[in-house]
Structures are given as structure tokens and as C-alpha cells.
Amino acid sequence: MSQVSAGAAGLLQRQLKAMQQAKDLPGISCGLVDDNVFEWEVMLMISDDCKYYGGGNFRCHLSFPTSYPHMPPSLTFKDPIPFHPNIYPNGVLCISILHPPEEDQYGFESAAERWSPVQTPETILLSVISLLHSPNDESPANVEAAKLWREEKSGGKEFKRRCRKVVRESLGED
């Protein structure tokens, strides 16, 4: 193991332990995949006050590069994948703070909105929960979800119906 990845592994070990011991992180549970500190399995138990995903339990995989914290991890939702403007149909999450710390070639994000080594697994997961509460449809990963989300704001019902179906699936009810 290189010195860089050994440093990343030590940091991740400490961050995982801190999250597992935290009393103020309701709805977030983390553990390692196959005892690999660079691969975390996460369960997000969404509170009932979330309009679309409330009551859902969503599994995701947080994968850290050996260059962490200088480069961001990736987060992928496992089945059932939330129907959401910022989640690709394959489950990969699209959120600014997980984009590499450089200027956006398309001009959608400033460097300040992108990854910074001050981010932690905790801040990432809290941002994901916030995104479930308030989707961003400006540069969607799932165009169909973004379209239905916009229609929902003007009285459409399909977005909410699709979200509630995924919530039921996450609870083993479908």
C-alpha cells in the first residue's frame, strides 16, 4: 500500500468510527464492504417529513479513491434506485460536491461548489439526504424524473407516484 493510500485508509477508518459512534446522525448507518475501508455500504433511512421519499430505506455504496481526501468518492444507489432528477437510472448520484475539484467544462458549477478535502462522508451523506428533500432539476442526471418533478410543481401526480412506489419497494412491500 502506498503512503498516500495508507493515509487515506487511516483517515477513512477514523471517519467511519466517528460516524458509527455519532448520536446526532439519525437515519444514517455505515459499514465496510468486505472489510475494505475504501468501500462503504450505507443505509439511508429517510424521515417521514420528506415529501417524496419519506419512510424509505435506501442502500448505497460509497466508493473512495486511494487519493481521498484530495479526490471525491462516488456514491451509487442499489436497488431499488430512487426515482430522482439527480440520480442516474443506473443508481449513480450526480451532486456537485462529488465532482472533481476543478472548473466545470460546461460552466454549470463553480469550483467552490465542487469537491473539497474539507468534505467528509458525513457531510456527503447529509447532502444526499438534503437532495432527496429538495431535488435540483437544473442539470438533471435523470431527464424523465426532472421533467415529472417540474410537472409536479404545477399539479402533476406522476413524480410522486413513482417515488412512493420506490419507497414501498425499499421496504420490501412491492
Residues that are catalytic: 94
What DSSP string runs through 5-73? Answer: HHHHHHHHHHHHHHHHH-SS-TTEEEEEETTEEEEEEEEEE--TT-TTTTT-EEEEEEE--TTTTTS--
DSSP annotation of 87: B
* DSSP element (H, E) containing 100: none
**Whose CA is closest to 44, among 23, 24, 30?**
30
Nearest-angstrom CA–CA distance, 35 and 24: 25
| CA separation, residue 158 to residues 97, 131, 135, 150 (Å) | 29, 19, 15, 11
